[in-house]
Structure 1
Amino acid sequence: MTEIEGAVALVTGGQRGLGRSFVEELLRRGARKVYATARKPVASADPRVEPLELEVTDPDSIAAVADRAGEVSIVVNNAGVLYPAPLLQTEMAHVVATFETNVFGPLRIARAFAPILAANGGGALVDIHSVLSWSAGVGSYGASKAALWSITNSLRIELAPQGTQVVGVHLGFADTDMVRAFPGEKLDPADVARAVFDAVAAGESEVLVDEFSRRVKAALSGPVEGLSIRTAN
């Protein structure tokens, strides 16, 4: 388990959508400081929030943030992009951009902050996946989240010797700008944030935020034809 009260955290994509809710929940639980990153950060009225410019596809940008945030003990890999077109129709540039942001970006963050977490007692690395890690139907986004899930599972093993808790988070669609155009009910981002940090505080390795995610994960033992966003609903 990882102590949140008094901790210093970093949330990528921390100034909008789910990221903003993660920042707010960390502060509600007593975090001493939260670095909230964005491509174009804006100032916060809360002195406990320090905005930082970060582009997760740029190794130099990540290195600069790691140099600035050396006291961090909780890292939340939240930043992501979504191009919802089918794989055979979307531009290959969008597929590449999706993997650069959603897969290689979090891995770069993990590599940069692993020694920092070790120096600060182990801490926690939280990777935000999706129910689409397991369910086909949303093009390169789902494929990228599946790749990140695999990476997270490997990082859990690699970071265990230094005492770092690695948490993978799966959820359906939260009520954010990224997925507002998708039909169906949306999760309250505040509820997602509470579930995530309940798990961090309890020492858990995986969070299935909603019943939809639990149902889709259970379907992994069945025929692959069942692993579709259309058949899982």
Structure 2
Amino acid sequence: MGSPISIETLAKDGQFSAYCAKPAGAAKAAIIVIQEIFGVNPGIRKKCDDWAAAGYLAIAPDLFWRIKPGVELDADVPEDFQAALALMGQMDQTLAIADIEASIHEARALIGGGKVGCVGYCLGGRLAFMTAARTDVNASVGYYGVGIDGLLGEKHAIAHPVLLHVPKADHFVSPEAQAAMHAGLDDHPKVTIYDYDGLDHGFAAEMGQRRDAAGAALADSRTAAFFAEHLE
């Protein structure tokens, strides 16, 4: 359903690729789909296609382009998993937010100035929280974001609604980190956190061994309702 597009950086010093899926008719709004550490792989492209089928313009920028363009890795392949961790370690997250912001500008232009949301997974869940604090995105969703407890100093800058999906058995986010997220964000007027008992990191992946179909369906239904309320 989708196809590659090129987006110019905010600094006007380069271009990067993104997967863009367009709805059949006029877009209700746009959604930036923020990749996991595995790149813009088939699972991320499917998420874009699904949002397009629901009436949104969906764009997934390649956030590893400065390190290695066109990364597509499989979470279930140990060598790919290690390669993904190495790429994450090399990423400049401040530049990644700038690329997400450039993608927001591109999305707004493509839909004629409407609202733009973002949804991210894993690394993308963390970046979605940072995007909420550092850009004018209209609504943000983060699935199993890692290290959000270390970003709570930015919560004062969140001006638009944020939804966070937190699997309680996430082996990358300790119970202490989850408790810190709740302590820091439960009273924030713009932030909603949903916990998922017994679910682990990656439960909403579109394909592969990490997916939990029931958990993914519940979280995705909440995300769809959230975007319908805040973007349409």
- Structure 2-normalised TM-score? 0.45
Higher percent of residues as helix: 1
Larger RCO: 1 or 2 (CA < 8 Å, sep 6+): 1
